Amino acid sequence: MPDSTSTHPHNERSSWLVVGGGVMGLKIARDLIERGQDVTIAEAAPVMGGLTSAWNLGDVVWDRFYHVTLLSDSKLRDLLTEIGLESEIDWVETKTGFYAGGQLLSMSNTAEFLKFPPLSMIQRLRLGGTIFYASKIKNWRRLEKLSVEKWLRRWSGNGAFEKVWLPLLKAKLGDAYTQTSAAFIWAHTARMYKARRSGAKKEMFGYVPGGYARILDRLVEVLSDRGLTVKTSSPVQQVQSADQGGLNVTFGDGRTEHYDNVVSTIASPLIARSCDELSDDEKHKLSDIRYLGVVCASMLLKEPISPYYVTNITDTWVPLTAVIEMSTIVDSETQLGGNHLVYLPKYLPDDHDGLNESDADYQEKCLSTLEKMYDHFSRDNVLDFKVARAKYVAALATVDYSTRLPRIVTSVPGFYALNSAHILEGNLNVNETIQLGETKLAHEVWPDYQRRIAAGQVSDKPSPDLANA
């Protein structure tokens, strides 16, 4: 997938460190290798993949956080084609449920939607109209100026807002919904509409057999064959301009290495802390970005609990954002050892105490909630239960968010801050992350690098000279 900006004379070969071995880091590494560069990835964790990384649940290896691919995820599908996995995607038609008023309801098509019991017919029509209208909006920047509450009350009316939108917003965003802009709802609606449009009006979700563990293994293998160096268990602590030009990078174990360029893909507040030389304005902008975090349980079960991939929850006593039954998509026999996989996520703002709740407390909360929600649910059905958490998942789309974003090309020569916080036209997902990485590398990072080359600011030695301090 090279674009016109990827052609370059071979003598402009310099060393790049990509900080963060998630999807964004891997995509940037791939595109830099494509441009003939020497690329190393430093990942803090012992394994690659960040939010897409996997773990063991019983004998099953699957993603720590649930992931599906949509038919419309063209950038991700291109990448999977490149590494030979796209043709293996298993596409499955999905159903959506709602837990409302103590009842589990199917909401998988328009007919079911029009019968949605908690709402009057007028409220249902206004709710449906709002979703349809949101899907038609092209100019998201207008929405970014309005609070999501104001916008939804205006279009759906107070009744539908109080009964449906408010519980959903609180479940997903906690109290941070009050600062969130209407672009948040637009991004979610647009993704779901795209999924249906490209799938003959059906909601088709897909996964690669073996899950993201397999995708990551193959991608790292392909990129390593092309010259990528991977350093896991290598947290970057500090990036500093070097006297000889380029940047000195200090790792958690005190080791220092020299690179001509560094692209950091880690969360914005962490980027602020990793480079003291950034200006105060840059540090403030990076630190001020609020994130949503998540606590997410993975549960391996003997029996399924529902036919729905997602069960949205509007009953406010339920302390979960949703119930995600992954095994309605992922084949139980071939992928999950004949068992069933359910995720129980709770999204919380990055400074919320709930992100530090102990595994045992979260497990007890989840199991007692499921016992109340599903008559047939029993703890004896649970084969394994594990809790994953992440503080920095998605930057919160606050009012006027895009006007406060820090620049990708920083004031420190050769240091680039390119992470998923720059996703403006969609919600956080792998496809958007890859697309953002590709576009911003091509249109901001690479032109700045070439400008520095032309100005003689990057050494023209053929390969990195790593110096241990």
Ligand X SMILES: Cc1cc2nc3c(=O)[nH]c(=O)nc-3n(C[C@H](O)[C@H](O)[C@H](O)COP(=O)(O)OP(=O)(O)OC[C@H]3O[C@@H](n4cnc5c(N)ncnc54)[C@H](O)[C@@H]3O)c2cc1C
Least distance from ligand X to the Cβ atom of residue 210, Å? 16
- Residue closer to ligand X by CB (options 65, 362) is 65
How many residues make up the chain in this entry? 469
Structure tokens at 179: 């600062």
The CA angle 434-442-43, to the nearest 5 degrees, is 50
- Residue closer to ligand X by CB (options 262, 373) is 262
What span, in angstroms and rounded, lies between the C-alpha atoms of 440 and 432?
12
Structure tokens at 272: 């602020």
- Interacting residue ranges for ligand X, rule: CB under 6 A: 19-25, 42-45, 50-52, 65-68, 235-236, 265-266, 270, 274, 294, 296, 345, 390, 393, 419-420, 428-431, 433
What span, in angstroms and rounded, lies between the C-alpha atoms of 222 and 241?
32
Least distance from ligand X to the Cβ atom of residue 51, Å? 4
Residue with tokens 């099953």: 60
Q: Are 328 and 368 in contact (CB under 8 A)?
A: no
Supply φ then ψ for residue 19, to 5 degrees.
-95, 120
Helix (H) or strand (E) holding 12: none
Closest CA to 322 of 344, 300, 340: 344
Least distance from ligand X to the Cβ atom of residue 84, Å? 19
- Residue closer to ligand X by CB (options 60, 119) is 60
- Residue closer to ligand X by CB (options 23, 83) is 23
Least distance from ligand X to the Cβ atom of residue 214, Å? 15
What span, in angstroms and rounded, lies between the C-alpha atoms of 230 and 19?
11
Q: Are 384 and 293 in contact (CB under 8 A)?
A: no
- Residue closer to ligand X by CB (options 67, 283) is 67
Least distance from ligand X to the Cβ atom of residue 253, Å? 12
- Residue closer to ligand X by CB (options 90, 149) is 90
- Residue closer to ligand X by CB (options 106, 433) is 433
Residue 348: how many CA atoms within 13 Å on its side-chain side?
18
Least distance from ligand X to the Cβ atom of residue 124, Å? 27
Least distance from ligand X to the Cβ atom of residue 291, Å? 10
SS3 366: helix
